[in-house]
Structures are given as C-alpha cells and as structure tokens.
Amino acid sequence: MQHSRVEMHPATAKWYDRRDSVFVEFCVEDSKDVQVKFDSSKFEFGCVSGTDNTKHQNTVDLFGEIDPKGSKHRRTDRSVLCCLRKAEAGKSWPRLTKDKTKNNWLSVDFTNWRDWEDDSEEDLSSFDKFSEMMNRMTDEGVDEEHESADSDDEKIPDLE
C-alpha cells in the first residue's frame, strides 16, 4: 500500500525559560529545508530530517507574546535551536504553550532550566550572549578565536 500523503511528525523539542527569552530546541539530526516562522503569539517549525527524509512540522501556540523580529534560530547537525524574544522581558513563563495540555513531543530542558526570578540582574543579557554566540558559531561549532577579551574584565586565575 502506498502512502499518497506525506505524514508529518512533530519534532521532539526541549524548552527553557529565561528573563528576556524562551529557548526551544528541536532535536532533529541532519535537518534540511528548515523553516521557522515566528508570530507574536505562536511559531511554526518545519524541516526534513534523516536519511529517510522524515517531514517534521510543529505549530506552537505560545503562552505569552514574543517579538517576531527579535527572535531567531540556529541550525546544527544535531538540532535546531530557536530563541524567542519575549515581548515582555522579566515575565516568567510557567509553560511554553498557551493551553495546559501536555504535548508528548515537548519537554522541559532541565539542564538549562533555572528559576531566574530569584536571580539578580545577571541574567538580563542572556539574549545578547546568545546573539553573540550565534554570530560566532560556525558550522563546525564555536569559533574559539573570536572570544572577545573585553566581555569580562575580571581575569580568572589559572587553576594550579
């Protein structure tokens, strides 16, 4: 039996919340034809992956508003990381989606999750650090030579 219509699978994703942005990482290896469309209250992700060209499609109705122009994504061989710029920085998102239904393709990225509301302002520039990292990244990974020396004036002592 032949499938005339292509089956769409949602890509597995992890997300975490920061003061000024929300990060969503779609765990898709060897993605091609990546398409990410940001809207103020939702975003769409689509790509083709793997040797069997599985088509992935995710539409996410977001918990809060984002700034579509300030949002961006970055593809690596292992995943596609989306950085959603919050329209209202400093407002925490208890979840990524508008409704409370559990999406079986979505989980919290506990490695990167922090309860930043108790933090001082140190996290405020995470978006800028992210942008900087995005600009520095080459397809082989992070380009070490472009570490900016002035990003932190304190020198960390060498560990003996």
Max Cα–Cα distance, the chain, nearest Å? 67
Per-residue pLDDT for 98 more than 90?
yes
Distances (CA, A) of 146 to 63, 76, 134, 141, 158: 36, 19, 12, 12, 20
Please give the pLDDT value at position 4.
Answer: 41
Helix (H) or strand (E) holding 63: none
User: One-letter amino acid identity for 55?
Assistant: K
Average pLDDT of span 64-87: 97
Please give the pLDDT value at position 3.
Answer: 47
Average pLDDT of span 108-122: 73
Residue 8's pLDDT band, with cuts at 50, 70 and 90, is confident
Please report the DSSP string for 106-135 in residue order: EEE-TTT---GGGS-GGGGGHHHHHHHHHH
CATH architecture of the domain 1-90 equals Sandwich (2.60)
Per-residue pLDDT for 158 more than 90?
no
pTM of the predicted model, to two decimals?
0.71
Q: In sequence order, what are the beta bridge partners of 52?
A: none
Average pLDDT of span 122-131: 58
Per-residue pLDDT for 145 more than 50?
no
Average pLDDT of span 37-59: 95
Q: Which of 23, 137, 22, 130 lies closest to 77, judged by CA? A: 137
Average pLDDT of span 62-83: 97
Taking the domains of the chain in order of start, what are their residue ranges? 1-90
Residue 106's pLDDT band, with cuts at 50, 70 and 90, is very high
Please give the pLDDT value at position 50.
Answer: 87
SS3 call for 13: strand
Distances (CA, A) of 72 to 4, 7, 9, 32, 84: 34, 27, 22, 17, 7
